[in-house]
C-alpha cells in the first residue's frame, strides 16, 4: 500500500494543480505573498507542492511551499500526527541553516487548519522532477549541470557535516531542490540528526532504527539508506556519502539501485550483498565517475571517499564546470581577479548550453551591475548571452537588468559597449522600450562631451539605421547630428558627422535630403580639406543615387554656386581639386542634358498641339483637288467664273498667258492669302453673313458659290467683279499697268480673308482709283479681256460672299466688254460700298463673329 502511494506521488509530478482558494484559506502566508501557479513538487513522497509567487510589499519573487492536510486523511490519526510533526520539524530546521547550497527560507512555516505553508527563494524543480524517463526534454539536465550540481551538493554536505555537525539522513532526489538559477540546494531536513558529542569529545550521531510500525513517509527512504544502519545500527556523516552515491546512480539511470518501499527485511539482505561488493550494473555512469561512485557505495563507511577528494577527480575538471564553480565563489574575489575572469568568459559562453548561460551564468553577472567599475567587464558577457537568446528570453531575463545601465554615462566604456551592440539592442528590444530607453542612450552619446564617444556613435549609427523608426531618424537623430557638426570644435567630429550623414542618405527620402541635408551643408563654415571632401562625398551620393537624385534646378541654383568656391580653397591637393571639379562638371553636364531635353520636348509638344492656320489648310485642300480642277477650268466659260475657287490653278493658268510682271502681281496676291494663325477668327465668324449673301446670290442669279479661304478679322467686302469685264480698245498698256497696281491694292483691302491690320482699308483702296469708268483697275488679276493682241482670258473660278450693304448685281452684263460699254454708269453705283451707319457696322461685326471655322470649311468644300 505504501509503495503504491509513493508511485502515485512520482507519477503525479507536474500534474497536480490545486485551487489555491481551497488550499490556503486563513493561512498567514497569503497575507504577505501573492500565490500564483504550481511549478513542482518536493519533499518526502513529493508531498510539498511548490507555487510561484511574490511578496506583495516589495514584489520580490518567491516560491511558496504548501502541504495540504487532506492528503493525510487516508491514514490513521497517529500516522497523521507523526507525519505532520516530521514536516514541521524539517522546515524549522531548514529555517535555522544559512548556506549558499541550502534552500533559503524567506518566510517561516505558517499553519492553518487545512495547510502548512512557507516561502523560499524561487525554485525551478526538485531533482525528482527532472530525473527519469518521463521528464520533458526541456527539463532534462545537461551533463555540465549534473557535474556542477554535484559539486554544489558536496559543498553543502561539507558545510552540514563539518560546520553544522548535522547528518541529513535522507539525501535523495526528493530532498534536493534546484532553484531558479539552477543551483542545487539541500532540502528535507525532516530526519536530520545533530551532533551529540561523547564524553571524549568525539562527534556522535545517535541512530534511530527503522521501524515497520511507523508509516513509510515518516521515516528515511530505504532505497538511499546506508547498509551500516541496518546491519550495525551506526549512523555517521559517511552514511550521507552512501546516500550521495545512490543519488548519483539515480541521476544517470533514472531510479535508485533497488526499490524497497517499506520492506525492511529485503533491505537487510541487500545490505549484506553490498557488503560482499555485489553491485548492480553501472553501464550508464561516466567512466570518470565510476571508481568514485563505487567507493561511495562501499559497505564500509571508512572506505568511502571524502568529499574534498571527490572534488578533485577528472569528472569535475571540465571547463564549463570550473566556470560555474568560479561564479559560485565570485563574491570572495577582488575586482582585479574578477576582471581577469570576465575577460575570458566570452570564449566559454558559446560552448555552454544556452539554458546554462541564461539561468546559471547570467544571474551572477547581473549582480555585478551594482559594482560600477566591473560593469565594462560584465556588460559584454551579458550582451553575448542576449545575442544567443530569443526576444522573449531577452525581455524576461536581460532587459529588466539593462534598463538602469542605459542611464549610466560613467564609466565611459559603458556607452562604448552599447554603441557597438546597438543593432542587437534595437533588434531584441520592443518598440516602446526602444523609445523609452535605447534611443535616449543614443541621444546621450551624441550629446556627451567626449569626442571619442561622439565619434564612435557616429561610426556605428549607420550600421543599424534601418532599425530606427523613420520619424525618430528625421526628428531626433538627424537634427542632433547636424547640431553636433555645426557646434563642435573638433574637426574629426565634424568629419565623422558628415560621413555618418553620407552613409544614412540611402535610408532617407528625397525631400528630406533636399530640404534638410543640402541646405545644412552650406551652413558649415569650416573649410578644412577633410570637411570639404566629406561635403563633396554627400553631394556625390545625393546626385548619383537613383532614389534621391538632385534635380537640375537645385544643381543649377544651389549646388554648383556653392561648390565652385570650394574648388579654390587653400590646402586642397591636386587629387582633391580634381574630385571637386569632376563633380561640378558632372552636375553641369546633367543640367545641360536635362534642360536641352526639356526644351526639345516642349518644342515638339507645341508643334504637335498648334492648330494649322488658314494658309496651311488651304494649301492642303488645293493640292488634293489640283488634278480635278484643271479639267474644269479648261471647260468653263466666262459665265462659270464662280463655279470653282482655286488660287493655285488660277495662278498656273495665268502663268501661261500673262506677262511676268502680272505673274509677280498674282504671286503677291497669293502670298497675301496666307493668314497668320495668331489672328484666327472666333468660331462661327461668317455664319450669319453666309446666309444673307447666299440669299442675295440666289435672288440675283449669281454663279454657284465657290470655296473661300478662312480669314481672321474681316473687313467690308467689295465685289471685284461688279465693275469688271473688258475695258475697251482705247486702254493702253501703260494705263493697264497703272490701273492693275491700283486694283491690286483695292482688291487686297476688300478681301474678306485678309486682316484689317495687315491690309489697306476699302476707303483707301477706293481713293487710289482714278475713276469708275476705268474698268481695268477693278481686275484683281491685272488682266483685260480685250487688250489688243491677246486672246480671250480665262477668268478664275472664284465665288465671293457679299456682305450686307451691297447689292448683288447680275453677272450677265459682265460677260464681255461690249455689254459693259452700253451699261449706264448709274447702274454701277449700287455695287460700290455704301456708307454704313454705326448700327449697320455693329450688326455686320456681330454677323461676322458668329461664323465658325467648321462652317467655312464645309462651305468651301
Query: Which among 342, 349, 429 has a CA at the least distance from the CA of 393?
Result: 429
- Nearest CA among 264, 265, 261 for reference residue 8: 261
* Mean pLDDT of all residues in 230-234: 83
- Which of 177, 168, 90, 169 has its CA nearest to residue 129? 177
pLDDT band at 467 (very low <50, low <70, confident <90, very high): confident
Question: In whole angstroms, what is the distance from residue 184 CA to residue 273 CA?
Answer: 32
Predicted confidence (pLDDT) per residue in 276-325, tens digit:
777 778 888 999 999 999 899 988 898 999 999 999 999 999 999 999 99
DSSP state of 684: B
Contacts of 571 (CB under 8 A, 6+ apart): 528, 529
pLDDT at 749: 39
Tell me, what's the pLDDT at 843? 64
Q: Which pLDDT value is given to residue 853?
A: 53
Q: Return mean pLDDT, the chain.
A: 75
Q: Regarding predicted confidence, which is higher, 258 or 69?
A: 69
Q: What is the mean pLDDT of residues 690-709?
A: 41
Residue 94, SS3?
helix
According to the model, what pLDDT value does residue 333 have? Answer: 87
Q: Inform me whether the pLDDT recorded for 819 exceeds 60.
A: no
Q: What percent of the chain has pLDDT over 70?
A: 69
For residue 410, what is its C-alpha cell? 560613467
Phi, psi of 720 (to 5 degrees): -70, -15
pLDDT in tens, 237-258: 999 999 999 999 999 988 888 8
In the numeric block, the cell 497696281 is attached to 741
The cell 502680272 sits on which residue?
662
CA distances from 602 to 594, 596, 610, 676 (A): 12, 10, 12, 21
Q: Which residue carries 477668327 as its cell?
A: 681
- What number of residues does the chain have? 861
The CA distance from 398 to 425, in Å, is 11
DSSP per-residue letters across 31-49: HHEEEEEEEEEESGGG-EE
Tell me the mean pLDDT in the region 660-671. Answer: 45
Chain segment 393-433, per-residue pLDDT in tens: 999 999 999 999 998 888 888 988 998 888 899 899 998 88
Q: In the prediction, which pLDDT does 68 show?
A: 93
- Give me the pLDDT at residue 635, please: 45
pLDDT at 469: 84
Helices (H), 276-410: 287-296, 307-310, 319-328, 335-348, 354-356, 362-367, 375-387, 391-393, 399-406
CB 35 within 8 A of CB 19: no
* Cα-trace Rg, the chain: 58
Is residue 674 over pLDDT 90?
Answer: no
Question: Which helix (DSSP H) or strand (DSSP E) does residue 564 occupy?
Answer: helix 560-566
DSSP code string of 498-562: HHHHHHHGGGS-HHHIIIIIHHHHTT-----HHHHHHHHHHHHHHHH-TTT---HHHIIIIIHHH
Classify burial at 215, counting beta carbons within 10 Å of its beta carbon; exposed 0-12, middle 13-18, buried 19 or more: buried
Phi, psi of 117 (to 5 degrees): -150, 145
Please report which helix (H) or strand (E) contains residue 251, including its range: helix 237-253
Per-residue pLDDT, 855? 56
State the Cα–Cα distance between residues 242 and 229, nearest whole angstrom. Answer: 11
CA-CA distances (angstroms) from residue 575 to 248, 491, 579, 582, 737? Answer: 75, 21, 6, 10, 81
Residue 51 host element (H or E): strand 48-55
Q: What is the pLDDT of residue 829?
A: 39
Residue 700 has pLDDT above 60, yes or no: no
Q: Residue 822 — very low, low, confident or very high, per pLDDT cuts 50/70/90?
A: very low
Q: Which DSSP category does 600 fall into?
A: H
Distances from the Cα of 230 to the Cαs of 166, 222, 233, 325, 825, in angstroms? Answer: 20, 10, 6, 36, 169
pLDDT score, position 350: 94
Q: How far, in Å, CA of 227 to CA of 244, rounded?
A: 13
- Model confidence at 361, pLDDT cuts 50, 70, 90, reads very high
Q: State the cell numbers at 275.
A: 557488503
Whether the model clears a pTM of 0.75, i.e. scores above it, the answer is: no
Phi and psi for 27 in degrees, rounded to 5? -80, 135
Which grid cell sits at 200? 571524549
Long-range contacts of 604-612 (CB under 8 A, 24+ apart): 610/677, 611/677, 611/680, 612/677
DSSP lists the bridge partners of residue 193 as: 167
Closest to 166 in 3D by CA, of 245, 65, 96, 256: 96
Phi/psi of residue 468, nearest 5 degrees: -90, 135
Q: Distance between alpha carbon 467 and the CA centroid of its chain, in Å? A: 8
pLDDT tens digits along 166-196: 999 999 999 999 999 999 999 999 999 998 8
pLDDT, position 846: 59
Q: Is the dihedral of CA 429, 432, 437, 438 positive or negative?
A: positive
Lowest mean pLDDT, pick from 550-564, 580-594, 655-669, 703-717: 703-717
Which pLDDT score is estimated for 214? 85
| Closest by Cα among 533, 583, 845 to 714 | 845
Give the residue among 658, 689, 630 at the shortest CA–CA distance from 851.
689
Residue 628 binned pLDDT confidence (cut-offs 50, 70, 90): low
For 41, 704, 796, 799, 859, the CA distances from 645, given in Å and listed in that order, are 118, 10, 7, 7, 12
Alpha helices by DSSP H, 567-713: 574-609, 614-624, 626-635, 647-655, 660-672, 687-699
Instruction: List the single range of 358-362, 407-411, 464-468 with lowest mean pLDDT.
Output: 464-468
Mean pLDDT check: name the lowest of 140-149, 168-177, 377-386, 501-510. Answer: 501-510
In this predicted structure, the answer to whether residue 60 has a pLDDT above a threshold of 80 is: yes
Average pLDDT over residues 616-645: 55
Which pLDDT score is estimated for 349? Answer: 95
In whole angstroms, what separates CA 188 from the centre of its chain?
Answer: 57
The separation between CA 444 and the C-alpha centre of its own chain, rounded to angstroms, equals 25
C-alpha distances (whole Å) from 180 to each of 52, 61, 67, 126, 355 are: 11, 10, 21, 11, 11
Reported as half-sphere exposure (CB side, CA atoms, 13 A), residue 706 has a value of: 20
Strand segments, DSSP code E, in 175-277 are 176-179, 184-186, 193-194
* Nearest CA among 376, 387, 473 for reference residue 415: 376
Q: What is the pLDDT of residue 84?
A: 93
| DSSP annotation of 730 | T
Which residue matches cell numbers 495665268? 654
DSSP 3-state assignment of 81? helix
Phi-psi region of 443 (alpha: psi -120 to 50; beta: other; left: phi over 0): alpha
Asked if 743 and 701 touch (Cβ cutoff 8 Å), the reply is no
Which residues, including other chains, have CB under 8 Å from residue 501's CB and lie 6 or more apart? 478, 481, 482, 485, 517, 538
Q: What is the pLDDT at residue 25? A: 58
Phi, psi of 606 (to 5 degrees): -65, -40
Asked whether the beta carbons of 514 and 538 are under 8 A apart, the reply is no
Q: Confirm if 264 and 271 have CB atoms less than 8 A apart.
A: no
Contact 649, 634 (CB under 8 A): no
851/844 Cα distance (integer angstroms): 12
Work out the average pLDDT over 570-585. 92
Structure confidence by residue, pLDDT tens digits, 125-156: 999 999 887 788 778 899 999 999 999 999 99
State the DSSP code for 160: I
Least confident of 61-70, 440-449, 474-483, 828-837: 828-837
C-alpha cell read off for 607: 508643334
Q: What is the pLDDT of residue 827?
A: 42
Amino acid at each position: 500500500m505504501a509503495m503504491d502511494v509513493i508511485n502515485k506521488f512520482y507519477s503525479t509530478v507536474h500534474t497536480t494543480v490545486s485551487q489555491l482558494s481551497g488550499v490556503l484559506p486563513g493561512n498567514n502566508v497569503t497575507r504577505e505573498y501573492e500565490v500564483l501557479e504550481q511549478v513542482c513538487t518536493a519533499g518526502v513522497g513529493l508531498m510539498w507542492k511548490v507555487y510561484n509567487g511574490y511578496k506583495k510589499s516589495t514584489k520580490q519573487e518567491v516560491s511558496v511551499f504548501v502541504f495540504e492536510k487532506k492528503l493525510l486523511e487516508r491514514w490513521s490519526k497517529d500516522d497523521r500526527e507523526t507525519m505532520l510533526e516530521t514536516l514541521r520539524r524539517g522546515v524549522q530546521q531548514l529555517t535555522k541553516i544559512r548556506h549558499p547550497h541550502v534552500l533559503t527560507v524567506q518566510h517561516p512555516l505558517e499553519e492553518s487548519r487545512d495547510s502548512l505553508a512557507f516561502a523560499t527563494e524561487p525554485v525551478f524543480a526538485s531533482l525528482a522532477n527532472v530525473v527519469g524517463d518521463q521528464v520533458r526534454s526541456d527539463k532534462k539536465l545537461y551533463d555540465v549541470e549534473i557535474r556542477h550540481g554535484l559539486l554544489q551538493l558536496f559543498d553543502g554536505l561539507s558545510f552540514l557535516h563539518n560546520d553544522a555537525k548535522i547528518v541529513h539522513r535522507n539525501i535523495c532526489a526528493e530532498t534536493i531542490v534546484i532553484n531558479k538559477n539552477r543551483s542545487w540546494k539541500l532540502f528535507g531536513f525532516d530526519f536530520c540528526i545533530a551532533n551529540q558529542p561523547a564524553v571524549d569529545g568525539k562527534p556522535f550521531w545517535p541512530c534511530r532504527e527503522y521501524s515497520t510500525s511507523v508509516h513509510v513517509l515518516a521515516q528515511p527512504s530505504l532505497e538511499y539508506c546506508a547498509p551500516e544502519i541496518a546491519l550495525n545500527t551506526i549512523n555517521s556523516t559517511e552514511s550521507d556519502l552512501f546516500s550521495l552515491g545512490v543519488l548519483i546512480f539515480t541521476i544517470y539511470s533514472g531510479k535508485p539501485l533497488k526499490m524497497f518501499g517499506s520492506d525492511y527485511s529485503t533491505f537487510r539482505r541487500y545490505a549484506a550483498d553490498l557488503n560482499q561488493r555485489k553491485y548492480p550494473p553501472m553501464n550508464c555512469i561516466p567512466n570518470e565517475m565510476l571508481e568514485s561512485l563505487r567507493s561511495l557505495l562501499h559497505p564500509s563507511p571508512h572506505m568511502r571517499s571524502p568529499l574534498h577528494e571527490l572534488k578533485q577527480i577528472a569528472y569535475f575538471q571540465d571547463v564549463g564546470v570550473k566556470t560555474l564553480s568560479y561564479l559560485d565563489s565570485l563574491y570572495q574575489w577582488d575586482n582585479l581577479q574578477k576582471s581577469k575572469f570576465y575577460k575570458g568568459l566570452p570564449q566559454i559562453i558559446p560552448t555552454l548550453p544556452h539554458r546554462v548561460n541564461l539561468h546559471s551564468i547570467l544571474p551572477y553577472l547581473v549582480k555585478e551591475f551594482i559594482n560600477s567599475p566591473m560593469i565594462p567587464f560584465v556588460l559584454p558577457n551579458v550582451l553575448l548571452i542576449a545575442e544567443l537568446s530569443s526576444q522573449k528570453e531577452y525581455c524576461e531575463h536581460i532587459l529588466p537588468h539593462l534598463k538602469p545601465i542605459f542611464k549610466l554615462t560613467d564609466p565611459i566604456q559603458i556607452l562604448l559597449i552599447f554603441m557597438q551592440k546597438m543593432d542587437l539592442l534595437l533588434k531584441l528590444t520592443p518598440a516602446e522600450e526602444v523609445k523609452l530607453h535605447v534611443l535616449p542612450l543614443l541621444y546621450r552619446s551624441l550629446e556627451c562631451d567626449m569626442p571619442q564617444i561622439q565619434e564612435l556613435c557616429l561610426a556605428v549609427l549607420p550600421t543599424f539605421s534601418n532599425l530606427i523608426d523613420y520619424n525618430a531618424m528625421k526628428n531626433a537623430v538627424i537634427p542632433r547630428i547636424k547640431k553636433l557638426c555645426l557646434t563642435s570644435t573638433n574637426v574629426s567630429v565634424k568629419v565623422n558627422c558628415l560621413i555618418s550623414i553620407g552613409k544614412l542618405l540611402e535610408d532617407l527620402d528625397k525631400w528630406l535630403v533636399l530640404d534638410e541635408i543640402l541646405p545644412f551643408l552650406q551652413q558649415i563654415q569650416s573649410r578644412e580639406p577633410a570637411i570639404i571632401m566629406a561635403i563633396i562625398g554627400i553631394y556625390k551620393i545625393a546626385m548619383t543615387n537613383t532614389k534621391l537624385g538632385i534635380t537640375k534646378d537645385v544643381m543649377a541654383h544651389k549646388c554648383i554656386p556653392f561648390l565652385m568656391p570650394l574648388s579654390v580653397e587653400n590646402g586642397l591637393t591636386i587629387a582633391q581639386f580634381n574630385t571637386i571639379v569632376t563633380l561640378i562638371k558632372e552636375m553641369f553636364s546633367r543640367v545641360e542634358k536635362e534642360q536641352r531635353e526639356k526644351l526639345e520636348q516642349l518644342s515638339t509638344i507645341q508643334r504637335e498641339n498648334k492648330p494649322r492656320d488658314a494658309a496651311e489648310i488651304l494649301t492642303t485642300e488645293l493640292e488634293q483637288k489640283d488634278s480635278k480642277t484643271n479639267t474644269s477650268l479648261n471647260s468653263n466659260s466666262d459665265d462659270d467664273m464662280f463655279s470653282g475657287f482655286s488660287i493655285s490653278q488660277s495662278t498656273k493658268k495665268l502663268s501661261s498667258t500673262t506677262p511676268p510682271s502680272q505673274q509677280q502681281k498674282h504671286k503677291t496676291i497669293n502670298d497675301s492669302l496666307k493668314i497668320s494663325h495668331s489672328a484666327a477668327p472666333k468660331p462661327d465668324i461668317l455664319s450669319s453673313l453666309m446666309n444673307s449673301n447666299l440669299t442675295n446670290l440666289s435672288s440675283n442669279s449669281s454663279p454657284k458659290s465657290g470655296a473661300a479661304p478662312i480669314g481672321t478679322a474681316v473687313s467690308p467686302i467689295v465685289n471685284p467683279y461688279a465693275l469688271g469685264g473688258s475695258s475697251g480698245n482705247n486702254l493702253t498698256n501703260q494705263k493697264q499697268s497703272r490701273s492693275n497696281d491700283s486694283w491690286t491694292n483695292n482688291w487686297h483691302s476688300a478681301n474678306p480673308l485678309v486682316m484689317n491690320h495687315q491690309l489697306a482699308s476699302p476707303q483707301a483702296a477706293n481713293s487710289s482709283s482714278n475713276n469708275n469708268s476705268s474698268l481695268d483697275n477693278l481686275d484683281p488679276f491685272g488682266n483685260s479681256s480685250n487688250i489688243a493682241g491677246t486672246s480671250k482670258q480665262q477668268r478664275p473660278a472664284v465665288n465671293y460672299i457679299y456682305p450686307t450693304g451691297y447689292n448683288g448685281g447680275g453677272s450677265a452684263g459682265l460677260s464681255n466688254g461690249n455689254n459693259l460699254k452700253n451699261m449706264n454708269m448709274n447702274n454701277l453705283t449700287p455695287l460700290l460700298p455704301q456708307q454704313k451707319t454705326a448700327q449697320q457696322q455693329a450688326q455686320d461685326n456681330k454677323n461676322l463673329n458668329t461664323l465658325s471655322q467648321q462652317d467655312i470649311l464645309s462651305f468651301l468644300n
